[in-house]
Amino acid sequence: MQKCYNNQNCRLVLLKWRNKFAVGLVMTEWFLQHVRLTAFSPLLKALRSEGSEALFEGLTGIEPEFDEKRLQGGFRRRAGVAGITRFELLEQLHRVDLTMQGPVDPLAAALEGRVSEAALGNISNIQEFVDAGWPLLDQCADITRLALGALLFIPYSSAEDAYAELSRKIDWTTARYPKTKDFMLQINYPTVVEIQGGIPLNRIFSWAVATARFDPALVIEPATSNEVWLQLTIDINTDVKNQVVLRQDDLQEIKNQFIRQAIGMSRGLFHD
């Protein structure tokens, strides 16, 4: 595997993103707070040993500040920070996750107009993360399943404004507004990826109006304060029942679907 840090297109260097994403974002557009790419393998260790030591630096362009290993369970977690962004490469039995996460408390910066300090960009920038993180798969053995997760938000100074925007994005909630005090909706609307004779693709998304406090555990509280956000959690994944090893052209088709579906779902659209 060619080391990704020799290829500028492969690097997840957020320092160059900060100014780029500070322009043109509006309050009705989703900010990107958290993105995760996951590969699953039937093998106990999803990553090949050769080349794995340099993988974190190759993907992110930075050295890990934290490297934790446990003999049991094949656990290893490497993490580091570049600018406002935290990267994590997590190995567990049968899976490996690459995560990019923005600031822990983005709301104040977002409401004050300091967007470059509040988020990783907008939903359209998810393609850059997927493109940059995709070389991770070259280091994985026998991939049978992939997943893409994202946490998006729009900050508001009041719950009323958040619910009003929600009613525009999901028009059938209009009748419940403005009496709604708390809201959370989760839907899985699966489709099929036309590879290997057809592999089911789960498209799970959750809408919520929540107190504007980011918890890494994604704990949601009712929106009762003057600082709230409209939150959308996306999880797109190939079905767990698939045990066929995915070919390179299969992976590319899934990648295209991930990007297309994530952007579409953020707009309330489902592409079959």
- Predicted confidence (pLDDT) per residue in 182-204, tens digit: 777 888 989 999 888 899 999 99
Domain borders along the chain are 4-266
Structure tokens at 258: 């991930």
Res 117: pLDDT: 55
The confidence band for 218, taking pLDDT boundaries of 50, 70 and 90, is very low
Q: How far apart are CA 131 and CA 256, in angstroms?
A: 10
- What proportion of the chain, given as a percentage, has pLDDT over 70? 70
CB 122 within 8 A of CB 35: no
How many residues would you count in the chain? 272
Averaged pLDDT of the chain:
77
Q: What is the pLDDT of residues 145-158, one digit of tens each?
A: 999 999 988 888 77
E-strand ranges in 46-84 read 66-70, 75-82
Which of 171, 139, 149 has its CA nearest to residue 35? 149
Strand partners, 193: 199
Burial of 132 (0-12, 13-18, 19+ CB in 10 A): buried
Which of 17, 262, 7, 56 has its CA nearest to residue 146? 262
**Bridging pattern class, strands 85-101 and 183-188:** unpaired
Which of 101, 93, 95, 55 has its CA nearest to residue 74? 93
Q: How far apart are CA 166 and CA 185, in angstroms?
A: 11
Say how far residue 244 (Cα) sits from the centre of its chain.
25
Backbone angles phi, psi at 90, to 5 degrees: -120, 125
Residue 149 three-state SS: strand
Res 113: pLDDT: 54
Residue 23 three-state SS: coil
Lowest mean pLDDT among 68-77, 161-170, 200-209: 161-170
Does the global pTM surpass 0.85? no
Residue with tokens 């507004």: 177
Q: How far lies 236's CA from each of 45, 122, 180, 190, 215, in Å?
A: 23, 18, 28, 9, 21
